[in-house]
Amino acid sequence: MSADPSVPPAALSGEVSLPEKLAGVELVRSVRTPIRLEYDFIPGDASSGYLNAFADRKILGQRSPVDGAVFVPPRGVDPRHGAATPDYVELPDTGHVGGFCVTRLPIPGRDDLEIPYVSAWIHLDGADIGFLGLVGGIDTAQVRMGMRVRAVWKPDDQLGRTAENILYWEPTGEPDVPVTAAGTNAWHAKQAEGDQG
Amino acid sequence: MRDIAVVSVAQHQEKALTHTTEVELMVPLINQARGAVGLTQDDIGFTCSGSSDFLAGQAFSFVHTLDAVGAVPPISESHVEMDGAWALYEAWVKLQIGAVDTALVYSYGKSSPGSLRDVLSTQLDPYYLGPLWPDAFAMAGLQARIMLESGAVSEQRLAEIAVRSLNGAAENPLAVRSSAAATVDHVLAEAPIADPLRPSDCAASADGGVAVVLAAGDRARELCDRPAWIKGIDHRIDPHQPGVRDLTRAPSAHKAAAQAGAGDDRLDAAELAAPFTTQEHILEVELGLVPETAVNASGGALAGHTMMAAGLMRIADAAQQIHDGRADRVLGHAASGLYLQQNLVCVMEGE
């Protein structure tokens, strides 16, 4: 082996020589080895509770046993502390936009989604983290952090055990949540209040 | 070298976890392992895990499972796409360096959502063997045939190993296949599923997880009445391409055992992670185990094989025997890859 790393090994520096009987045969330049594996995904206890509740037009979160923070969707654990979260909390279908993005590129397979569309972190009233949703019923240029929204549900006869029951989130017309208390700031604002109280 | 010991273990295993995610599985186990020695994550110097995205069917699945640890404020953490025994090795090295005094090691595997027999094909080379998608049992059957025809083992001996597992597992609530009444005649009467392998020759697939706490020196003595001191630990590897190997042997297991000092003194117990009776036989030979050593009192991996955790579970089972005072010197073994390609041996002693 050469001590100089910029000099390729001898085996790679010369011409490739083949046995005579392989002379003229086209070299293999690549092979295709397709892989396909199928899985039956199991949502688990917490997510099952969450998805089942959607069929009844309910949104469930879970409460941290450590400091009472409410997580939605629930994962069965407060990930900050590794503590199990067995207690469900029913949340209203109202909240505010904690952050948003206007997208002008189509998503493959989502022909139903008109562009531009607005995806947003929806912070439900009573929840301490946001979850993802679409914002509709408003001009994209008017969407703002802190804007109050409510869920627009599919008709009752189309409800399933899925978060897709919520078509999008529309403005309620209520006064905005101040940006200093919107989104992830909400948790910090609440903690500061608690410290003062 | 620092004195490092396994001071706490917690594990769970069942045939199929149909209602819990990997996170929901690991939350109680990690809390149990830490809690039993009065530690919280704040007291843990290093955290290391082992698992496989090919079982979970999603990329970076181990990152989700960190939710079960509690990583706020940020922790020092690592992961291996290997059986958790190799995560334990990494943590042992970290402790040897001396930067930390405690470590949390965990691993888990939930193979039930997919087809493990197919998933295992993805560990083969991608050019020659992988594209053939050979069934994992068929691959093991090829080895078994070579072993029987060459006289490396007898059908009688394989059946004895199967019975040892079935009988031992009857006392183990975590085993997913057991039978106190099983005999060699029963096993030999089974119809082969991957001729010459019979159902009892092949490990019973399981879902599960295991968490272990390691501590160094006086910290270990504070935390545990009888720490399982790691006296030797080593892992070795044989060639990946089975065509270049003698499939009746596992030289890497022999070397790892020698490096770990397995034969330096009497072994009261050995816990082996072999997914087939043929491979358990190879390990007994390569590790030089003698009749005085109780092999797989728990039933071993044959009685419940949680992919990615079976090895760390064996080390946990062996350590538990030191903690309980049932044994003074034990061996825990882990394997990975086709035909015991990679082997790890961990020798532990009580004081």
pLDDT < 70 stretches in chain A: 1-14, 16, 196-197
Helices (H), B213-267: 217-223, 251-260
As given in the structure block, the two tokens for residue B351 are: 């004081």
Do B328 and B349 form a contact (C-beta atoms < 8 A)? yes
> Can you tell me which residue has the tokens 């029963």?
B186
Residues B304 and A43: their CA atoms lie apart, in Å, by 24
Handedness of CA A142, A144, A146, A149 (dihedral sign): positive
Q: What is the pLDDT of residue A192?
A: 82
Q: Is residue A124 part of a domain?
A: yes
pLDDT digits (tens, 9 = 90+) for A60-79: 999 999 999 999 999 999 99
- Spell A12-41 as b/e; 16+ CB within 10 A means b: eeeeeeeeeeeeeeeeeeeeeeeeeeeeee
Kindly give the pairing relationship between strand B102-109 and strand B46-50.
Answer: parallel
| 3-state SS, residue A133 | strand
> Please, which residues have CB within 8 angstroms of residue A115's CB and are 6 or more apart in sequence?
A103, A104, A105, A106
What are the extents of the domains in chain B? 4-115+205-223
Q: What is the pLDDT of residue B10?
A: 98
Kindly give the pairing relationship between strand B205-216 and strand B305-306.
Answer: parallel
B67 closest CB neighbour out of A37, A43, A77: A77
The alpha-carbon gap from B327 to the nearest alpha carbon of chain A, in Å, equals 33
> Can you tell me which residue has the tokens 């992988």?
B130
Q: Which residues of B touch A80 (CB under 8 A)?
A: 70-72
Q: Is residue A24 part of a domain?
A: no
Please state the pTM of the whole predicted model. Answer: 0.92
Do B333 and B300 form a contact (C-beta atoms < 8 A)? no
Helix axes A44-54, B22-35, angle to 10 degrees: 140
The alpha-carbon gap from B109 to the nearest alpha carbon of chain A, in Å, equals 14
Q: Which residues of B touch A75 (CB under 8 A)?
A: 21, 23, 67
Angle at B103 between CA B105 and CA B212, to 5 degrees: 40
Handedness of CA B176, B182, B183, B186 (dihedral sign): negative
How many structural domains is chain A composed of? 1
Q: What is the pLDDT of residue B183?
A: 98
Chain A stretch 77-96, residues whose beta carbon is closer than 8 A to a beta carbon of chain B: 77-84
B72 closest CB neighbour out of A31, A45, A80: A80
| Chain-chain contact of A82 with B70 (C-beta, under 8 angstroms) | yes
> With 0-12 CB in 10 A as exposed, 13-18 as middle and 19+ as buried, what is A132?
exposed
Q: Is residue A69 part of a domain?
A: yes
User: Whose CA is closest to B106, among B211, B27, B197?
Assistant: B211
Helix axes B310-323, B84-97, angle to 10 degrees: 60
User: Whose CA is closest to A100, among A179, A154, A187, A172?
Assistant: A179
Q: Which residues of B touch A33 (CB under 8 A)?
A: 126-127, 130-131
* Structural domain for A102, as ranges: 44-196
Residue B50 has pLDDT above 60, yes or no: yes
DSSP-assigned letters across all residues of A138-193: S-GGG--TT-EEEEEEPPGGG--SSGGGEEEEEE--SPPPPGGGSTTHHHHHHHHH
Do A128 and A95 form a contact (C-beta atoms < 8 A)? no
pLDDT digits (tens, 9 = 90+) for B64-74: 999 999 999 99
Percentage helix, strand, coil for chain A under 3-state DSSP, each rounded to 5: 20, 25, 55
Q: Which architecture does CATH list for B4-115+205-223?
A: 3-Layer(aba) Sandwich (3.40)
B114 closest CB neighbour out of A39, A82, A84: A39
Q: Which residue of A has its CA nearest to B34?
A: A82
Q: Is residue A112 part of a domain?
A: yes
Do B48 and B65 form a contact (C-beta atoms < 8 A)? no
B27 closest CB neighbour out of A33, A47, A82: A82
Among B24, B43, B135, most A C-beta atoms within 10 A, so best to mutate, is B24
Do B179 and B200 form a contact (C-beta atoms < 8 A)? no
pLDDT digits (tens, 9 = 90+) for B113-130: 999 988 999 999 988 898
Q: What is the pLDDT of residue A1?
A: 44
Tell me whether A66 touches chain B (CB under 8 Å).
no
Residues A89 and A50: their CA atoms lie apart, in Å, by 10
Q: What is the pLDDT of residue B117?
A: 87
A44 closest CB neighbour out of B24, B69, B71: B24
* Phi (first) and psi of residue A30, to 5 degrees: -160, 160
Amino acid at B161: I
Number of A/B CB contacts below 8 angstroms equals 83
| Average pLDDT over every residue of B309-336 | 98
Q: What is the pLDDT of residue A2?
A: 46
Q: Which residue of A has its CA nearest to B67?
A: A79
SS3 per residue for A49-68: HHHHHHCCCCEEEEECCCCC
Chain A stretch 27-46, residues whose beta carbon is closer than 8 A to a beta carbon of chain B: 31, 33, 35, 37-46
What is the Cα Rg of chain A in Å? 27
Among B47, B49, B67, B106, most A C-beta atoms within 10 A, so best to mutate, is B67
| Average pLDDT over every residue of B197-212 | 98
User: Whose CA is closest to B175, among B15, B328, B66?
Assistant: B15
| Chain-chain contact of A31 with B127 (C-beta, under 8 angstroms) | yes
Residues B208 and B304: their CA atoms lie apart, in Å, by 9
The alpha-carbon gap from B204 to the nearest alpha carbon of chain A, in Å, equals 20
Q: Is residue A31 part of a domain?
A: no
